[in-house]
Structure 1
């Protein structure tokens, strides 16, 4: 118990920022553990220790008071729903896994609303129904696909090919990073894995070419955010499960906004390269057409996987589940035959497959635990009529859909500073679904808007996890070439790109057809 309290104190020291830990692969967890502020030792001092104890006492005391009131008191139904959400947040801030926090807080809420029968029935159904949904089998296959491509080294090959074609234009290497990110996003569903892979390759190249460190880091971090907008996207599939929308339509809805966002980043980079050449200089490297074509040949496996997944879904030839399954097999096979590690033989092949499966299984299990938790939380929100009360309040105020969405932009920016992307989606969708539908907001459109906003939250200070991943990568001398890069430089570097992404989020509010047109033209099944 004493060790647990000391660990909690270290994680909640006033000299550190707290972040709800996302569901990551084993490799990603290692990177985040070494980059998040919680990994840094707290500064010694009596005042720091007093502040830590005060925070721990306040956190546990508040949670115990809410739990006692839910169990022993007689609160109003709406109050039960609100207190359940608050208790869940307290548990997450205390270091409890998001899924377990939802199950624990939701269980107390259900007991307060309907007693033991309601709790027992929901737990029996809630541990099976969310995980036994056929359309959500897309999640483990998408994760398997992205892991296979990541481990095969296709990231560096895609970057090298793009550099041959774009490196000599203003801001060319940053353009290369963004376009590589968009291309890799079409075959990998993990933002952090994509950012990690791009950062190792792109940042040293840009610094070697004379790029300003902040611009090099900012362009790399934001290129990684494309990973959850352009399908395949695990976040979009999770959102579809939480909002009960079509998985196929939800994935197709992300294509045009994802390409627009990539184009907006490219235009900004090109403008900086032209107006401020000292910030993003040309590489002055020239390649023959023969060399450029050879570079393109090396990324054919990546294009094949993207074509199988996106083309299969868009054409109606495959369902999203079938496309993901076929794409994962294709990625495994092509990843093995195009790897760079020099391994051969049946034994090496099984080791490669085992490594991919272990990472994909761990990540998938964590996500399904989240889905079980959101099922229970949704049940509490429904029984407590919290969402109905919120809907009535919004309608009474007289807000229209546009005004409400602009308020949500500010809300999600705030939540993104303190919470993980998956937690934001699973917390807010059950609460906001009823008000949004009452205002006439298309829930497929809202999924794209929400993913853009939570991806922005992954880089914004003070707790954007991608910024810490990139900052940690930039501390490696092989990456920074001896240039000290501070966390302040990292945050300042991403902020202009955040402004561009916010502009696209506002654009789709006023022009929703940019999201809804493509899925409306396609006949996509689940």
Structure 2
């Protein structure tokens, strides 16, 4: 077989392995290793297996991943985000579907210190769902709201998904963070509009809250969110003003989170230990997948399959928007079966040459990609956020009930994707304003 044929065969084998539920990291590494061996021999394959993991993980940019993870775990174990939902609840509860809107705002704030959809969904599920049930909200509506709101975690920075995309696609992570702000806020706004419309059309989904809170209670609740606001201002302000790089921002954010926890007296030695251990475990899992993606990139480069595919698409004369539509459909389908980081790192080595040839802005595409992958977190049959919420609420509602509660949020998500495509400025304005 020619090198290009070996490349396409490797892609086919990889898809079969994924279909057999082989973990994505080992599948990527195994196929890439075997493909390089078939093309240039065992010595080159073993050399790639020895050099690529080191060259990838030892880069300065990758140090931001464990630092941002540590920041998120410190915030969680120190309880720095506890006041978010309560403050949003007191200020927004009188609106139609106000408790659900409060969950969306709470998740948006939580996203700004974690960067993880699953963490957002789990935290808001424990806090917001019981409160909504106390107010007699429909169980499917309440759980669907929280599962969908968790997806904002991968859009509003810091986002681990955007960090890894930036490193693989060679796009400045700081600009990706700023682009994610617009997409994240638009998503939150879209969810809130949809909640209000549904609550007005069917008040039984979200009965009007009769409890009243005084101005002093609402102001006191705002005081409780100062840790998150300070952390957001420190990290995002420093990035936007160029005080530190995205890589340094992770370390600065982790240090600031620890300092705030110490000042509040809410961080313990046990919490600090758990934060470090969970950071190490999550980082190791992410790095294995990322190393496999880098090996696949090398395999595709040696085989020439990536460039060949790009040339075929270019020769077809496909309009960039038509190409983007096709890629979007691929990611929506992949998202139904794979977790976002795995789906992204599995496909980027193949798609990046195609996107570059088509002249598509990789910064803009990175935000759309993150949005598409997050839609996969709430689509059946493997909507991870849905199963996270199910594990939190137990027998309160069935898994099918949560998926039913998700449906209208999926409609809102698709509208957001269309708006991001039609109006690129939503993504590109803030990155263009950076120093």
For normalisation by structure 2, the TM-score amounts to 0.96
Query: Alignment partner for residue 145 of structure 2, among 219, 234, 247?
Result: 219
Q: CA deviation at 1:95?
A: 4.5
Q: CA deviation at 1:428?
A: 1.2
Partner of 1:131: 57
Partner of 1:108: 34
Q: Contact between 1:182 and 1:262, CA under 8 Å: does it hold in 2? A: yes
- Tell me the secondary structure at the aligned position of residue 274 of structure 2: helix
* Aligned counterparts of 1:252 and 1:499: Cα–Cα separation in 2: 25
Query: Alignment partner for residue 422 of structure 2, among 495, 506, 510?
Result: 510
Q: CA deviation at 1:275?
A: 2.3
Query: Alignment partner for residue 260 of structure 2, among 334, 347, 356?
Result: 334
Q: CA deviation at 1:121?
A: 2.8
* Aligned counterparts of 1:153 and 1:241: Cα–Cα separation in 2: 31
Q: Contact between 2:77 and 2:272, CA under 8 Å: does it hold in 1? A: no
Q: CA deviation at 1:91?
A: 3.3
Q: Deviation per CA, 1:134-183, whole angstroms, max 9, x where unpaired?
A: 11211001100111111222333211111010112110000000011111
Q: Contact between 2:84 and 2:225, CA under 8 Å: does it hold in 1? A: yes
Q: Contact between 2:88 and 2:106, CA under 8 Å: does it hold in 1? A: yes
User: Are residues 1:165 and 2:91 paired?
Assistant: yes
Partner of 1:359: 278
User: Are residues 1:82 and 2:8 paired?
Assistant: yes
Partner of 1:443: 362
- Tell me the secondary structure at the aligned position of residue 283 of structure 1: coil
Partner of 1:318: 244
Q: Deviation per CA, 1:440-499, whole angstroms, max 9, x where unpaired?
A: 1011111101110010001101111111111222215xxx3xxxx122111111111011
Change over 3 Å in CA distance of 1:339–1:195 after alignment to 2: farther
**Superposed counterparts of 1:29-428, under 5 Å:** 75-338=1-264, 349-428=268-347
Larger helix share, 1 or 2: 2
* Aligned counterparts of 1:338 and 1:373: Cα–Cα separation in 2: 41
- Tell me the secondary structure at the aligned position of residue 447 of structure 1: helix
Q: Contact between 2:71 and 2:254, CA under 8 Å: does it hold in 1? A: yes
Q: CA deviation at 1:339?
A: 6.4
Query: Alignment partner for residue 349 of structure 2, among 416, 430, 455?
Result: 430
* Aligned counterparts of 2:269 and 2:15: Cα–Cα separation in 1: 42
Partner of 1:70: none
Q: CA deviation at 1:338?
A: 3.7
User: Are residues 1:469 and 2:376 paired?
Assistant: no
Q: CA deviation at 1:352?
A: 2.0
* Aligned counterparts of 2:80 and 2:406: Cα–Cα separation in 1: 25
* Aligned counterparts of 2:85 and 2:262: Cα–Cα separation in 1: 19
Partner of 1:8: none
Partner of 1:520: 432
- Tell me the secondary structure at the aligned position of residue 222 of structure 2: helix
Any runs of at least 4 consecutive aligned residues in structure 1 with deviations exceeding 6 A, and if so which? none
User: Are residues 1:457 and 2:376 paired?
Assistant: yes
- More displaced stretch, 440-449 vs 275-284: 275-284
Structure 2: gaps of 5 or more residues: none
Q: Contact between 1:155 and 1:197, CA under 8 Å: does it hold in 2? A: no
Could you say which structure has the larger radius of gyration?
1
* Aligned counterparts of 1:223 and 1:472: Cα–Cα separation in 2: 17
Structure 1: gaps of 5 or more residues: 1-74, 341-347
- Tell me the secondary structure at the aligned position of residue 273 of structure 2: helix
- Tell me the secondary structure at the aligned position of residue 418 of structure 1: coil
Question: How many matched pairs?
Answer: 435
Partner of 1:61: none
User: Are residues 1:494 and 2:406 paired?
Assistant: yes
* Aligned counterparts of 1:262 and 1:360: Cα–Cα separation in 2: 28
Q: Deviation per CA, 1:73-106, whole angstroms, max 9, x where unpaired?
A: xx23222122222333333444443222211111
Q: CA deviation at 1:337?
A: 4.4
Q: Contact between 1:135 and 1:247, CA under 8 Å: does it hold in 2? A: no
Q: Contact between 2:78 and 2:271, CA under 8 Å: does it hold in 1? A: no
